[in-house]
Amino acid sequence: MTADLNATGATRLIWLLPVLPLAGFAVNVLFGQRLRALAGWIATLAVAASFAIAVAALFELLSQPADARTQILRGYEWFVSGDLRVAFDLRWDPLSAVMALVVTGVSSLIHLYSMGYMGHDDRRETFFAWLNLFVASMLVLVLAQNFLVMFLGWEGVGLCSYLLVGFWFNRRLLLVNPLGRLVEGEPDDTREVWAPPAAKKAFLANRIGDVGFLLAMFLIFATTGSLDFDVVFGQAGTLAAGTATAIALLLFFACTGKSAQIPLYVWLPDAMAGPTPVSALIHAATMVTAGVFLVARTHVLFETSGTAQTVVVLVGAGTALLAALIAIGQDDIKKILAYSTVSQLGYMFIGVGLGPIGYAAGMLHLVTHAFFKAQLFLGAGSVMHANDEDTDIKHFGGLRSAMPITFWTTMAAWAAIIGVPLTAGFYSKDQVLAALFEHGGVGRLAWVIGVVTAGLTAFYMSRYVFLTFFGERRWPEGRHPHESPPVMTLPLIVLAVLAVVAGVALTTFTGEGGRFQDFLEPVLGGPTEHESLTAAFWLSAVATLMAAAGGVVAWLLYIRPFDWLALRRRYAGAWRALADRLYVDQVYEFFTVTLGGAFAAFLARTVDQRGIDGAVNGVAELVGDGARSGRRLQSGLVRSYALAVLGGAVLIVAFLVFRP
Amino acid sequence: MSPVLAATASEQAELIVFIVLAPLAVVTALGMVLSRNAVYSALLLVVNFFCLAGFYVLLEAQFVAAVQVIVYAGAIMVLFLFVLMLLGVESHEALRETIKGQRPAAVLLALGLLVAVVAAIFAGVFDAEPTSLAAANEGGNVQAVGRLLFTRYTFAFEIAGVLLVVAAVGALVLGKRQRP
Amino acid sequence: MRVGPSAYLLLSAVLFAIGVAGVLIRRNAIVVFMCVELMLNAVNLSFITFAKTNGALDGQVLAFFVMVVAAAEVVVGLGILVAIFRKRSSTSVDDVNLLKG
């Protein structure tokens, strides 16, 4: 593909991309106590500097001809063991450039926001340290040139997710319904948000997925003899279909953990127990996209195995639909957004699971989603900040006059996510759906699911904004919602703007095909043919109509005076099912916690206490009893001893006399 | 004459003496073991020793017979009697056996030993032909024993002497009373 | 019928067995000691018998030495007995049981 892969110009500095945040982490860990407020600035500047370098390296890449845009920065050699050589080589190509820019850019904005949001927290220097560590790990993941280094970053972001979700480990956030029962028969909304179990759940779910990654690495090494991307992808075509399928499915299993797809998505909604900037950064824009990135990066392996691709598409579609359904039943604004993230991630996986026609679409959705989802989360944080950290949508309403900036920026992101034409979300979602339709076969089925989900997405997102910002005020007495400080609203504005214009900017710069796709084509391969314009128009129309329908239903229910609480009571069963997240968590909890706990108790009590301890103690008791009985021989009486001596003597004499 | 098939007169005499002394020896031995009174036991043992001295004479071991009477019956048993007096003759043993199963076991094992040794005796052939120590006892038994003692068994003789000295000293030390 | 060595040996065996039973059964320490002397004498008898059987006087010399040693043993042994039992009122062999485990 390229003759000389060595890094040139600004690309030579990409090693600074993970190192700067890592340095920020080190500084904040070592000197954070003394730095106090300065810690936030250090962290933000570290990430902003990484962003600047990434931009410079991007220009360096653009200055190269289109087919020579892969550059490798040889790094420190980690270890050599037999045939395996692993080094910290960094890869700079369009795909990693896109990811790096998204990660560092959105991170910078969120770091800035955090300086306001976490300003009063007494452990904020630790928070910024973890945030920086996270960015560093994510960049290692994105820039890696071999599987093991990527796994290092993979694990690192998992660790940081645990640390950050559990950041308020000493706080029990008890949110009692301050209005008393809203309506008779309405369930009590006393909710306890408790961080450590959520953090553990996140880490464990990720860990289970990581087993898949490890096994995939073992297989890769066993069949190709290397873990380096170029070597492995070069040999991808020679792999047996079965092996390739196994590897691809194992890698995808890891992605279901990291990127919250079926079956391992359950940690993401619980992870909302962490501070809102964490939700925005990790669980919307960056960590959860690592799975999509992985599939895109190893797309050659997936292409070799058609089965794996089908699995990815179907799981993505299924997850998108399931999550959208559950989101309809949530009253906690962060949970709504969490399930929305799971659903949108499903779209991304559909895109990258399709093959060449879908890669760019999936990646584009990744980028646009980062913008509008981060905005939505930060906006939710702003709403919570103004409402004493309340997250219950039933206690909001009519907030648009109290928080105008938050309102308008959130509306921009809302438009993007439901796919209002010309917004970023419109472009990316449409491209995914179009690619689906093109693909045929399982793609058509997924297209139907995708369109239905688009309608559901529009419904629940509209419900979210309508109930929060419109309608009558439902706040408790004594609450005075106000707009957030500039350090928080500035990122909101930037992200909102991006959510609106990014789509246009990235795809229609030059006429044919879209610039974003062209940029990624050397890495990911492009569609073999381009769809006709009319087909594209009709497909867009269908999707947009679905979205509009969803929005209208939401308007009917939530903007016009309508007793939606009564509706809830009427369909109490269905509502309960949706609100209880379709019982998936309960099932998992049964199998892991209950059964696992029972098994552990069995092992502890029966096997360990009675079995092993019993055996060991039994041996000791046996010896003791033996000794105690043997002790009785020592009577101390001379005559007993004499008797024994005589007995022995008689035996000897008898033996000597009567021996055969 | 009697139907006893003694070949010679000396053998006949030997037989008569044996028949008298042997039961006496056994009876006194049993008496010694079974007597409640310790002094009776000692005296019965003295009689036993005299019987044995008689046997030694029958077996042409006149020197040993004399030594038996002088040393054993005359010194050792006297010593026993002295100690018995010293430690109180009134101390009577209780009739009941304290260790369970000791008596039956002891009798059984003793009988077992007897059986084994008797079997050994009859396994060997000793009665084939009469033997005599006439040749060995040249010049009298005492002289003959003396000859052996001072030639072949000189070393043992000397050691025995040392042993006696040590025993005497030991008895002295053991018998000392501790001065307060 | 004459008295052969077997008779003496038989007698010696019987006396020895009686002595052994006595050692085990009696509790008075001095009587036990006397039974030991009985055993020694029984063995002496068998030595003398074998001396006659072999036509040599070695057995008699051996019996002589047995007597010497028995004498020394009795002296020391009774000294020990006196030392032990001077303090107590009983001479029971069962009382020396400090080795009881």
Q: Which helix (H) or strand (E) holds A78?
A: strand A77-81
Judging contacts by C-beta atoms under 8 Å, the chain A residues touching residue B110 are 646
Q: Please give, rounded to a whole number of angstroms, the shortest distance from the CA of B130 to a CA of chain C.
A: 8
Backbone angles phi, psi at A203, to 5 degrees: -65, -40
pLDDT cut 90: percent of chain C above it: 63
Mean pLDDT of A205-215: 92
**pLDDT class for A605, splitting at 50, 70, 90?**
confident
pLDDT at A355: 79
CB contact (8 A) between residue C96 and residue A638: yes
> Is pLDDT at A134 greater than 80 in this prediction?
yes
Q: Model confidence over A38-58: pLDDT tens digits?
A: 888 889 999 999 999 999 888
CB contact (8 A) between residue A638 and residue C93: yes
> Is pLDDT at C71 greater than 80 in this prediction?
yes
Average pLDDT score over chain A: 83
**pLDDT class for C91, splitting at 50, 70, 90?**
confident
Tokens 């350090």, located at residue: A487
pLDDT cut 70: percent of chain B above it: 89
> Is pLDDT at A197 greater than 60 in this prediction?
yes
Q: Model confidence over A451-498: pLDDT tens digits?
A: 899 999 999 999 888 888 887 787 777 777 888 888 888 888 888 888
Record the tokens describing residue A338, joined without a space.
Answer: 């969490």
Mean pLDDT of A600-614: 83
pLDDT at A507: 67
* Straight-line distance from the first to the last Cα atom of chain A, in angstroms, rounded to the nearest whole number: 96
Q: Model confidence over A67-111: pLDDT tens digits?
A: 677 788 888 888 888 878 888 888 888 888 889 999 999 999 999
pLDDT at A652: 93
User: Among A13-27, A286-300, B117-131, where is mean pLDDT lowest?
Assistant: B117-131
Mean pLDDT of A152-165: 93
Query: Which residues, in sequence order, are bridge partners of residue A61?
Result: none
pLDDT at C36: 96
Mean pLDDT of A425-450: 80
> Is pLDDT at A427 greater than 80 in this prediction?
no
**pLDDT class for A535, splitting at 50, 70, 90?**
low
Query: How far apart are alpha carbons B9 and B4 in whole angstroms?
Result: 11
Q: Please give, rounded to a whole number of angstroms, the shortest distance from the CA of A621 to a CA of chain B.
A: 28
Mean pLDDT of C56-68: 94
Nearest residue in chain B measured CA to CA from C24: B106
Q: Is the dihedral of CA A351, A354, A357, A359 positive or negative?
A: positive
pLDDT at A598: 87
**pLDDT class for A141, splitting at 50, 70, 90?**
very high
Query: How far apart are alpha carbons A526 and B115 in whole angstroms?
Result: 111
Q: Which of C3, C27, C65 sits opposite B18 (nearest CB)?
A: C3
Q: Which residue has the higher pLDDT, C14 or C97?
A: C14
Mean pLDDT of A396-409: 86
Backbone angles phi, psi at A561, to 5 degrees: -60, 115
Q: Model confidence over A166-196: pLDDT tens digits?
A: 888 877 654 444 443 334 334 444 445 577 8
User: Among A16-25, A276-285, A588-597, where is mean pLDDT lowest?
Assistant: A588-597
> How far is C-alpha A659 from the chain's CA centre?
87
**pLDDT class for A660, splitting at 50, 70, 90?**
low
Any B CB within 8 A of C6 CB: yes
pLDDT at A186: 43
Residue partners of A206: CB distance under 8 A and separation at least 6: A158, A161, A257, A258, A264, A267
With 0-12 / 13-18 / 19 or more C-beta atoms within 10 angstroms meaning exposed / middle / buried, residue A215 is middle
> Is pLDDT at A65 greater than 50 in this prediction?
yes
Q: Which residue has the higher pLDDT, A340 or A61?
A: A340
**What is the 3 state secondary structure string of A414-463?**
HHHHHCCCCCHHHHHHHHHHHHHHHHCCHHHHHHHHHHHHHHHHHHHHHH
Any A CB within 8 A of B133 CB: no
Q: Which residue has the higher pLDDT, B170 or B101?
A: B170
Judging contacts by C-beta atoms under 8 Å, the chain C residues touching residue A643 are 24
Any B CB within 8 A of C89 CB: yes
pLDDT at A124: 87
Tokens 């070799």, located at residue: A304
Query: How far apart are alpha carbons A466 and A400 in whole angstroms?
Result: 10
pLDDT at A7: 67
Select from B108, B109, B113 the residue whose CB has the most chain A CBs within 10 Å, as the one to mutate to test that interface.
B109
CB contact (8 A) between residue B119 and residue A640: no
User: HSE on the CB side for A555, CA within 13 Å?
Assistant: 6
> Is pLDDT at B7 greater than 70 in this prediction?
no
pLDDT at B92: 63
pLDDT at A529: 53
Residue partners of A524: CB distance under 8 A and separation at least 6: A95, A296, A299, A356, A359, A360, A363
pLDDT at A527: 59
Mean pLDDT of A544-549: 83
Which chains lie within 8 Å of chain C at 3 or more CB pairs, if any?
A: A, B
pLDDT at B18: 94
CB contact (8 A) between residue C34 and residue B45: yes
Q: Which helix (H) or strand (E) holds A73?
A: strand A71-73
User: HSE on the CB side for A21, CA within 13 Å?
Assistant: 30
Residue partners of C54: CB distance under 8 A and separation at least 6: B131
Select from B62, B114, B132, B162 the residue whose CB has the most chain C CBs within 10 Å, as the one to mutate to test that interface.
B114
Nearest residue in chain B measured CA to CA from C20: B110
**pLDDT class for A240, splitting at 50, 70, 90?**
confident
Select from A632, A639, A653, A657 the residue whose CB has the most chain C CBs within 10 Å, as the one to mutate to test that interface.
A639
Nearest residue in chain B measured CA to CA from C3: B15
**pLDDT class for A530, splitting at 50, 70, 90?**
low
Q: Model confidence over A316-366: pLDDT tens digits?
A: 999 999 999 888 888 888 889 999 999 999 989 988 888 777 888 888 888
Mean pLDDT of A548-566: 76
CB contact (8 A) between residue B133 and residue C81: no
Is the bond preceding residue A18 a cis peptide, omega within 30 degrees? Answer: no
Q: Which residue has the higher pLDDT, C69 or A12?
A: C69
pLDDT at A534: 59
Q: Please give, rounded to a whole number of angstroms, the shortest distance from the CA of C94 to a CA of chain A.
A: 6
